[in-house]
Structure 1
Amino acid sequence: MAIPDILYVEDNYDYVDVVERAIGQIDDTTVLRSIDDGALALDTLEKLAEDKTKPKLILLDLNLPGLSGLDLLRKIKETQALRYVPIIMFSTSDNPKDIRSSLEFGANAYVTKPLGYANLVKCLSAMHSFWLKTNCVA
């Protein structure tokens, strides 16, 4: 299994396509893998951890089939081999309760999905620059 730089857990296929295009525009060497189900994402992450590998960053939507984004976040942070992988909650919700819950469960950041392609590219470029280029990961 190829090790993704970014694992994007999102069930909106159209949005996944747009994010893939934007990441390719930012850096065509970045490997982005998307998974559309929370339970499948957990299985994938556990397999990567067994192989002593992990993504550099996880982008995680709140509303997912199989296992919600918050439940997946909690399970990742409870897994020793994965707990230090940075996780950005990436959702359309700007509800303070969602933001607070995400941060309390261990998200490194909460970002509301921007409107418009240009704004998405700016947002993802900033994430990419910090989390994949500047941030030090254990």
Structure 2
Amino acid sequence: MTDPQPRIINVLLVEDDPGDVLMTREAFEEYLHNRLDVVTDGAAALAYLRREEPYTDAPRPDLVLLDLNLPRRDGREVLQEVKADEDLRHIPVIVLTTSQAEEDVLRSYQLHANAYVTKPVDFDGFIEAIKQIDHFFVSVVKLPTGS
């Protein structure tokens, strides 16, 4: 008996560092089979999630990977607005950041982040972290179907 194929999910990466975007794209292209969309600041993330211009046709993500230190709107503000919005709060948000500060970890969970992952600095560790996040949210847990 073989395991059923995991369903393909839509992932939104909110990240302003071009190197981290590139590594995440490589992980998705090489190892994962999910759709990855990228926005580079917090204001664009909220517009994407709310399907505002220029994202009116964007798919509703099944999972958000959110950096904390973003231009225009900080990741903490994005997280707070997402979790306060009845139409968006069901979407799991994984904080994926370089910060190891205890206050960032605590604040993220107070704002209802679903997980807090510190980005590994080396390429292989980063790829492995992305693969583990993907495996957990695609193969292990059941996500609500997008709307």
What TM-score comes out, normalization by structure 1 length? 0.89
Rg: which structure is higher? 2
2:5 aligned residue: none
1:45 aligned residue: 49
Moved over 2 A (4+): none
Alignment match of 2:83 (pick from 77, 82, 88) = 77
1:108 correspondence with 2:114: yes
Alignment match of 1:134 (pick from 134, 140, 144) = 140
Unaligned runs of 5+ in 2: 1-8
Give the structure with the higher percent helix: 1
Unaligned runs of 5+ in 1: none
One-letter identity of the residue aligned with 1:43: A
Aligned residue for 1:47, secondary structure, equals coil
Superposition pairs of residues 10-29 of structure 1, within 5 angstroms: 10-27=15-32, 29=33
Q: Size of the alignment, in residue pairs?
A: 133
2:101 aligned residue: 95
Identity of aligned residues (%): 33
**Are the equivalent residues in 2 in contact too, given 1:38–1:66 (CA < 8 A)?**
yes
2:12 aligned residue: 7
| Alignment RMSD | 1.8
One-letter identity of the residue aligned with 2:102: P
Give the whole-Å Cα distance in 2 for the aligned partners of 1:135 and 1:24.
22
